Structure 1
Amino acid sequence: MTFAYLKSPHGADPIIVEGTFPASPERVFRAFTDPEELVQWFGNKALKTAKVDLKVGGSWTFTFAEKDGERDVLQGQYEEIDPGRILVFTWRHHKETATGKGETSPASEVAIYFTEVADGTRVRLSHSMVESESTRLNICGGWDACFSDLDRILRSHDAAAAIA
């Protein structure tokens, strides 16, 4: 499988994902923090709701559509916020089965750096402290797909704005 944005070896810790997006750092930062925008590109279109309390110590929760009676929730807490420059947060995955049994992963950390470049914004994401290799393998593919969807959304928004 080929990954367009993954820069670290597949399954390595930390997971490094990088891409350049055709928008300002402030615009790309908003895509990572606005609930209405997040549901458009995060989680391979399976994200049902996103709740964001964008302040240091504030929490975020992403709930995915139920599939085969299972429910997936990602959640964490913001540790550092500098709009258009940096976003750091904890990350936990909670999975609940159809029988109601739940399991929550240990916390990991995501740090996202936004840098203005000539053709838009360079985003470097580091997802670290993921304990199991199988989870890292899944997260690698997930972030790569998210970056691809984010690029598509930002390009379509730019095209729509140019026409308007």
Structure 2
Amino acid sequence: MDKITEAVIEADPRLPIIRLTRDFAAAPDRLLRAHTDPALFTRWVGPDAMTTRIEHWDARTGGSWRYASVHDDAEYWFHGCFHEIRPDRIVQTFTYEGDADGVALETMWFDDLGGGRTRLRTQSLVDSFEGRDAWLRSGMETGVNEGYAKLERMLIDGTA
């Protein structure tokens, strides 16, 4: 099985879905923790030029979250609900508050590849093909790849 070291981002041709796949050098439980522990999450999420400030974080089935990505004096707010957290997946909503009508339903699967490796698969169902294509044009791949590179380093050096 080939290792996927940079996120593969794909648009579904039939549905307004974005799929993302990336491998990590860590067991699924460590990757899950990095996505649910707010102290870890703020250290890796998003582009290198931004920092993350959490306003609210309740990582449990039925919980919710809200955070800001900050660059210079600009703040970009996001919020959502954790619909389900299990050892092998997270189901949540995701809303960029600059487009409050654009709610995505996201599912993240943590696939154990053995040998201390995990394949993260994410599916984001958005409200329309136009919304999906706007996400893809937004430069999201920079934030995804820079954020996941930070997470990979944290997993390798044992800080996550």
Pairwise CA RMSD of aligned residues? 2.7
Of 61, 77, 82, which residue of structure 2 is paired with 1:78?
Answer: 82
Partner of residue 125, structure 1: 122
What is the alpha-carbon distance in structure 1 between the residues aligned to residue 150 and residue 18 of structure 2? 18
Partner of residue 5, structure 1: 7
Contact persistence 1:110–1:125 (CA under 8 A): yes
Partner of residue 42, structure 2: 39
Q: 1:8 to 1:25 in 2, by over 3 A?
A: same
Of 57, 74, 96, which residue of structure 2 is paired with 1:52?
Answer: 57
2:147 aligned with 1:154: no
- Which residue type is aligned with residue 31 of structure 1? A
What is the alpha-carbon distance in structure 2 between the residues aligned to residue 10 and residue 81 of structure 1? 25
The two structures have a TM-score, normalised by structure 1, of: 0.77
Q: Secondary structure at the match of 1:65?
A: strand
Partner of residue 90, structure 2: 87
What is the alpha-carbon distance in structure 2 between the residues aligned to residue 54 and residue 9 of structure 1? 28
2:32 aligned with 1:29: yes
Q: Which runs of 5+ in 2 are unaligned?
A: none
Q: 1:10 to 1:153 in 2, by over 3 A?
A: farther
Report how far residue 110 of structure 1 moved. Answer: 1.2
Report how far residue 9 of structure 1 moved. Answer: 4.5
Q: Percent sequence identity over matched residues? A: 22
Structure 1 or 2, whichever has the larger Rg, is 1
Deviation readout 1:28-62 (Å, 9 max, x if unpaired): 10000111101111012423323321222210112
Q: Which runs of 5+ in 1 are unaligned?
A: 96-102
What is the alpha-carbon distance in structure 1 between the residues aligned to residue 18 and residue 141 of structure 2? 7
Report how far residue 130 of structure 1 moved. Answer: 5.2
Report how far residue 91 of structure 1 moved. Answer: 0.5
Q: 1:4 to 1:150 in 2, by over 3 A?
A: same
Partner of residue 100, structure 1: none
Q: 1:7 to 1:106 in 2, by over 3 A?
A: closer
Deviation readout 1:58-116 (Å, 9 max, x if unpaired): 10112122534x32111100111102x00010010113xxxxxxx52421111100111
| Runs of 4+ residues deviating >6 angstroms | none
Q: How many residues align?
A: 148
**Further displaced range: 115-124 or 71-80:** 115-124
Q: 1:127 to 1:145 in 2, by over 3 A?
A: farther
- Which residue type is aligned with residue 136 of structure 1? L
